Amino acid sequence: QKEVEQDPGPLSVPEGAIVSLNCTYSNSAFQYFMWYRQYSRKGPELLMYTYSSGNKEDGRFTAQVDKSSKYISLFIRDSQPSDSATYLCAMKDTGNQFYFGTGTSLTVIP
């Protein structure tokens, strides 16, 4: 079993919809949680970074971490066609290694 589980999708939504992306993990030592957006044939781009539990908002994006449930989410409000990409969650403990989910492919239909 992978350390980080993420539904690969694909997920298809109409423009303006609220998108919910999720990851679960098994290692209770994870403290740092990240969401990356990756366009086709490009490098992952860091979207959100959260330490420990709680919420963090940045524009249309909200990241939530629930350490008690080992569950993290990324919400995208008012989704746009330019949000169409693969979204990867990643997390780490106090060590140097990052653990990635498999990515969720999102398409926002105009």
Partner 1 sequence: AAGVIQSPRHLIKEKRETATLKCYPIPRHDTVYWYQQGPGQDPQFLISFYEKMQSDKGSIPDRFSAQQFSDYHSELNMSSLELGDSALYFCASSRLASGYNEQFFGPGTRLTVL
- 75 in contact with partner 1 (CB under 8 A): no
Residue 66 and residue 53 in contact, taking contact as beta carbons nearer than 8 Å: yes
- 24 in contact with partner 1 (CB under 8 A): no
- Closest CB to partner 1 among residues 17, 73: 73
Binder among 13, 49, 70, 75 for partner 1 (CB under 8 A): 49
Smallest CA-to-CA distance from 47 within 86, 9, 96 is with: 86
Tokens 């963090």, located at residue: 56
User: Cis omega (within 30 of 0) on the bond before 10?
Assistant: yes
How far apart are CB 99 and partner 1 at their closest, in Å?
A: 8
* Helix H or strand E segment including 64: strand 61-66
- Footprint of partner 1 (CB under 8 A): 6, 32, 34, 36, 41-46, 49, 51, 88, 90, 92, 95-103
